[in-house]
Amino acid sequence: METFQNKKSLISGNPSIRICEDYYQNFFNQQKKQTKRKERLVFANDYQIFLWAFLLGYESKVRTPLEGKTNYAFKWDIIEKRFNLSRKIIGLLVLFLYENDPSKIKSDYQEIKNENTNESKLSQELRIAFEEFANTGFEIITQKEFREPGYLHDGLAIAQDILGNTED
């Protein structure tokens, strides 16, 4: 009997998750910012900042395509290793992508089970949606950082955003 944990992930092939070069330099490049990850107060790891950007973008329901030069933020397996987290992210993406035609998910999932490629068409669509929502979120973070310098390192400001207690 196939268990859920043995099923093939909807995001397959452990793809690299991309980020626009400007956002990479502003949020991930520690040499440029002369900081160390362990000194970060809120997000100790780059993937956590990316997830926060994804959630902000997803909440806005706006996908912003990655344009120009991109960089690799991390590999999908960083998320996949956090099993509950990867299921929730994929669930959100599936809800968004199949909102207008939920019956299509069954045929697309069957395609994944039958494909032997590193990244199926659906897997690629999910990855791109993940990146594009995060891209929108990075723009939101950039605007917040402009209005409130240090926003990304302010635990109270992040908590207020999580709880929805902001005026934005």
pLDDT one-digit tens code per residue, 30-65: 655 555 555 555 677 788 889 989 999 999 999 999
In a domain, 48, yes or no: yes
Structural domain count, the chain? 1
Residue 110 lies in a domain: yes
Q: Is residue 22 part of a domain?
A: yes
Q: Is 136 exposed, middle or buried (0-12, 13-18, 19+ CB in 10 A)?
A: buried
Does the pLDDT value for residue 162 go beyond 50? Answer: yes
Read off the pTM.
0.79
Tell whether the model's pLDDT for residue 83 goes beyond 80.
no
In a domain, 104, yes or no: yes
67's CB contacts (< 8 A; 6+ apart) are: 20
Does the pLDDT of residue 11 top 70, yes or no? yes
In a domain, 1, yes or no: no
Residue 157 predicted with pLDDT over 70: yes
The confidence score (pLDDT) of residue 158 equals 82
